[in-house]
Structure 1
Amino acid sequence: MPSIQRATAALLLVAAVAVAGCERAPAPAAAPTPTEPAQAVEQLIEDLRRNDFAAYARHSVPPALHARLDLAWNEGRTRWPLTELPLDDRLPAFISALAAPGAEKQLLTTYNRQFSGAGAELRSAASTLGLFATQYLRKEGDYSADERAHYAQLVAALSRWGQKAPLGDPQRARRTIPQLVAAARQTGLAGGPDTFRQLGMQRSLERFGPFFARFKQVLVTYGLDVDADLASARATLVERDGDRGRVRLDYTLAGQKIEAHLAVERHEGHWYLSDALRHAETQASAPAAPQPAAQPTR
C-alpha cells in the first residue's frame, strides 16, 4: 500500500478508536442565549467541548433554516452538520464496518500487517499529506478566504502532530481496537446512510456525540488534547457594522497557535457564522440523491 494511503488509514484508525465507550453524560443546564457576536462563537465552541452536536446544530443556524435542514435529513438529502467533518461521506460505512461481525479480528490483522511498526513511514506520509491538503485549500473546495486561511493553519498543526504521534504503536492498537468495535455496535448508527435518515437529525446527532467524546479521549493518548485546545479558545469582536461583524478567534491546536478571523451576521436577534450559514443553506437545498436504476425483470 502506498505510504500516503497507509497514513490516511492509520489516521482513520486513530479516529475510529474514539467510539469506545459511548456513554452519555448528563445534559448541563441551558446557558444564557448569547447577545453578542463573540459570545455566539464561544457558544459553538462550548457545544463541541460538551460533544453536543444537537445543540451545535441549533445554535449554528436560525430556526427556520434548522427546520429545513431537519426535513432534508429525513429525506436523505443531507447529514448536516456532520457534512462539515472530514470524510463525512464515509462515516456511515465506517461505523457499519466497525460494527460488523468479526471486525475485531479483521482490524487487528489489518493493523498488524499494514501499520504496526511503520512509524517512520507514517511520519513521512503525515508530512506529505499536510502539503497536499494545504495545496488543495489554496485553490479547491467551496471555502471563503477566511476559511482557507483558518484551515491551512489547522492542516499545518495536525500534520506536525501526525509526524510525532505514535500511530504505528501496536500496543495501543491492541488495547483500543476491541473497545472501538464494541462501542460502534452500541451507537445504533450502523446500517449505512439509511440508518441516519431513519433516526432523523436529532437522534443521530445525540448518538454521534459520545462517538466524538471518545474520539477526543483517545487522541489524548496519541498526544492531541482537543478538549484542552477548545478550552484555550478566546473570541474577540474586531468590528461591527449593524447586523454584520468580524470576530477574531485565538486558540491552540497540538501546541500550535491558531488565529482565525470569522465573519458573523445577525438574524432575528441572534448572531451566526456567515460561512456556516452559507454551507447550511447549500445542504438544506441539496437535491435528492439519484435512485439506482431498476433491474429488468425476467
Structure 2
Amino acid sequence: MRIQTLLLAAICGIAGLTGCRGDRDGGDTATAGAQRPVDAVLLPARHLRDDDLVAFVRDSVPAPLHAQLQQAWSEGRSRWPLEELPLHGQLPRMIAALSAPDAEATLLAAFDRQFTGADGELRKAIETLAAFGVQYVTNNPDLDDIQRDREIQRLVALSRWAVQAPLTDRERARAALATLCAAARATGLDSDAAMGEAGMDESLRRLSGFLAAVRTVLAGYGLDLDASLAALDVTLERQTGDHAQLRVRYPLAGEAIDVRVEIERHGRQWYRSDRLRRATAAAGRDGASAVPR
C-alpha cells in the first residue's frame, strides 16, 4: 500500500462519515422513522453509532427507494450507501488485502519500508492531499455552497489531525493491522462479486463490524469519534412546508464544525436531501454505467 493511498482512505473515508453520529435521545424514532426534522440527521446517526448499516439505509431513504436500491445492488448497478464514501470502489480490494492469510506480516513489512524515518515526507503528503482535496471540493460543480462549506470544514479538521497523529508508530500500526485484518476476514466480502452474491442487507450487516473496527483503530490514533461527537447539536433553522434546513454543530479532531444540512419530508418522515439525490441516482443507474469491478 502506498502512503498516499493510506492517507486518502483514512482522511476521505472519515470525512464521509463524520457529522452523522449522535448521542441524543430520539424518542420513538428507532421504530417510527425520522418524524421530527432534526431526526433526519440524528436517527441515521444513531444507527452509525450502533454500527448498524442496515438500519442506517432503512431510515435514510423512503421504503420504495430502499426496494429500488436493493434491486440495483442485486443487479450490480449500485453499491449505495457505500458510494457515500470516497474511494468506495477500492473497498473490496482493501478488504481482500486485509483478509489475506499473511496480511498482518505482509502489510507490516510494507509499513516498515514506507514509513520508517518518513515523518517529514508523511506530513508533506498530508498537506499536499489536504490542499488538493480543498481545491477539488471548491471546484466541484456537483456541490452547492452548503455542501462545499461542509466538506471543506471536515477536510481542514481531519488534515490537521493527520499531521499530528502518530501515523509512523510501528506498534500502533501492528495493533491496527491485527484489528482490521480480523474484521476484514469476518466480512467474507473480498470482492464486488461477493457483495453482489450476499445482497445489500447482508453485505451491510457484515460490513457493520468492519466499520466498528475502523472506529477503534482511529481512536488509537487520537481520533476518538465517540468522544468528539458526543456534543453533536442539531437545531431546526427554517422550515417551509416539506423542506427545511438544519444547523449541525460538533467538535471534530479539536476543530469546531458548524454546517447546514438541507432536508425534505416524504410522507410523514424526514430525510437528508443530498443523500436522497445520490441514492436516487444510484438506484436508477443503468447497466452501461454500473459500479466498477
TM normalised by structure 2 equals 0.88
* Corresponding residue SS for 2:261: strand
Could you say which residue in structure 1 is the equivalent of 2:165? 165
Measured on the aligned residues, the alpha-carbon RMSD in Å equals 2.2
> Which amino acid letter does the alignment assign opposite residue 132 of structure 2?
F
Distance 1:255 1:164, change over 3 A: same
**AA in 2 matched with 1:33:** G
Q: Deviations over 1:4-29 (max 9, x none)?
A: x524325648999xxxxxxxxxxxx9
Structure 2 counterpart of 1:241, which letter? T
Q: Corresponding residue for 1:152?
A: 152
Amino acid in structure 1 at the alignment position of 2:192 = P
Pair 1:129–1:231, CA change in 2 (3 A): same
* Structure 2 equivalent of residue 20 of structure 1: none
One-letter amino acid of the counterpart of residue 253, structure 2? A
* 1:108 counterpart residue number: 108
Deviation at 1:177, TM superposition (A): 2.0
Counterpart residue identity of residue 6, structure 1: I
State how far apart, in whole Å, the 2-side matches of 1:210 and 1:158 are.
23
- TM-score of the pair, normalised by structure 1: 0.86
Alignment pair present for 1:8 and 2:5: yes
Query: Contact 1:15–1:215 at 8 Å: present in 2 too?
Result: no
CA distances 1:73-132 after superposition (whole Å, capped 9, x unpaired): 011111100100121000011101111232222111111001133222212221221111
Cross-structure match for 1:276? 275
**Residue pairs, 1:48-197, within 5 angstroms:** 48-140=48-140, 142-190=142-190, 192-197=191-196
- DSSP-derived class of the 1:35 partner: coil
- 1:40 equivalent in structure 2: 40
TM-aligned CA deviation for residue 228 of structure 1 = 2.1
* Cα separation, partners in 2 of 1:290 and 1:8, compared to 1, 3 Å: closer
Match for residue 234 of structure 1? 233
* Larger CA deviation: 193-202 vs 7-16: 7-16
Q: Secondary structure at the match of 2:246?
A: strand
User: What is the 5 A alignment of 1:256-275?
Assistant: 256-275=255-274
Tell me: CA distance 1:34–1:10, structure 2 relative to 1, closer, same or farther (3 Å): closer
Contact kept? 1:14, 1:219, Cα under 8 Å: no
SS in 1 for 2:199: helix
CA distance in 2, matches of 1:82, 1:219: 19
Question: Per chain length, whose mean CA-contact separation is higher, i.e. which structure has more relative contact order (CA < 8 Å, sep 6+)?
Answer: 1
Task: Write out per-residue CA displacement over residues 219-278 of structure 1, whole angstroms, 9 at most, x where no aligned residue.
Answer: 111110112233221110000111111111111110111111111111011111111111
> What secondary structure sits across from 1:160 in the alignment?
helix
Instruction: Give the partner amino acid of 1:250.
Output: R
2-side partners of 1:122 and 1:260: how far apart?
29
Cα contact 1:246–1:261 (8 A) shared by 2? yes
Aligned to 1:22: none
Return 5+ residue gaps in structure 1 as ranges: 17-28, 292-298
Output the amino acid matched with 2:5.
Answer: T
Distance 2:151 2:289 in 1: 31
Question: Which consecutive unaligned segments of at least 5 residues does structure 2 have?
Answer: 14-27
Matched residue, 2:16: none
The percent of aligned pairs where both chains have the same amino acid is 43
Q: In the alignment, residue 217 of structure 2 is paired with which amino acid?
A: V
In structure 2, what residue type is equivalent to 1:211? F
Residue number in structure 2 paired with 1:21: none
Relative to structure 1, is the Cα distance of residues 14 and 178 closer, same or farther in structure 2, using a 3 angstrom cutoff?
A: farther
Larger radius of gyration: 1
Q: Displacement of 1:31 after TM fit? A: 5.0
Corresponding letter in the other structure for 1:9: L
